[in-house]
Amino acid sequence: MAIVANTFTSFDAKGIREDLANVIANISPDEVPFQSNVGSESVSNTFFEWQTDSLSAVSKTAVIDGDDVTSFDSTAATVRIGNYTHISRRTLIVADNLNAQDLAGRNDEKAYQMAKRGRELKRDIEAVLTDNNARVAGNTSTARETAGLGAWITTNTNKAGDGTDPTANDGSDARNDGTQRDLTEAMVKDVMQKAFTSGGNPSILMVGPHNKTVVSGFAGIAAQRYMAPSDSPTTIIGAADVYMSDFGTLQVVPNRFQRERDAWLLDPEYASVCYLRPINSVDLAKTGDADKAMMICEFGTKVSNEAAHGGVFDLNVS
């Protein structure tokens, strides 16, 4: 191919206006399944507490007619446990002259950046809440830290032979990770049975992306069939959103921000996020030709009774 000599083309021209779409494409994920499925509460102290209790063991002892009561069942006190709040923040600084410029995709650069920081902060919080992290009281030189899920679940677990559960179920000790292995349906069934025996009723199986695909391959899921109409294209279903066990139905929820090596069986009724300070935007002192601001939140994990939940641990991540 060739063009006539001296043809003036767009490669020669100056002053062509740029064509910049007035839309900013951002596909970074910000879904937060744990926060979205459990409750939220307000607290009034950096150390917040609650109480747990349980019933005594079942008794099959018969009582004779007219028997007098000469001894009494023991009465156990409630257990008082607590967790610390955790401060997370995101900051920004935006030059003032951006307010005078014509910006594509947004009218206000600071507002746009603040919205981004808010989404980033939600993801940070999700990772903290589901982490294997023991609580830290903190001091003037050490930040307080809230105990994540990994430090709470001790009763209903399935782990590698060299993995260990927290020594206490009060958030003061993190679990020790063991040798990683493949997630199996038997592991999930084992934890569901343990939770049922403990009195729990988990309804959510929360897993990382890789193990979501593993759950979709469970034998019980694969037995399901989808009848496609003969006069339309066939629909291929390659995902398991619900898993039915002998002890209840689990909604299978993928979570991008939890540890991939953990699979959580959760009863949302017995977990919540506690806020001393909800997510809030704060303008910082101006010291030059720019605006400074931050998004900040102070929150903590509350596991009302850890025996209501369960976990399969030490899983392969790919």
Tell me: pLDDT of 235 over 70: no
Cβ contact 47:84 at 8 Å:
yes
In the chain, where the domains are located: 33-51+79-228+236-309
d(CA 153, CA 174): 10
Tell me: pLDDT of 218 over 90: no
| pLDDT tens digits, 265-299 | 999 999 999 999 999 999 999 998 888 999 999 99
Tell me: pLDDT of 220 over 70: no
What is the pTM assigned to this prediction? 0.85
Cα angle, residue 166 at apex, residues 161 and 172 outer, rounded to 5°: 160
CA atoms within 13 A on the CB side of 176: 6
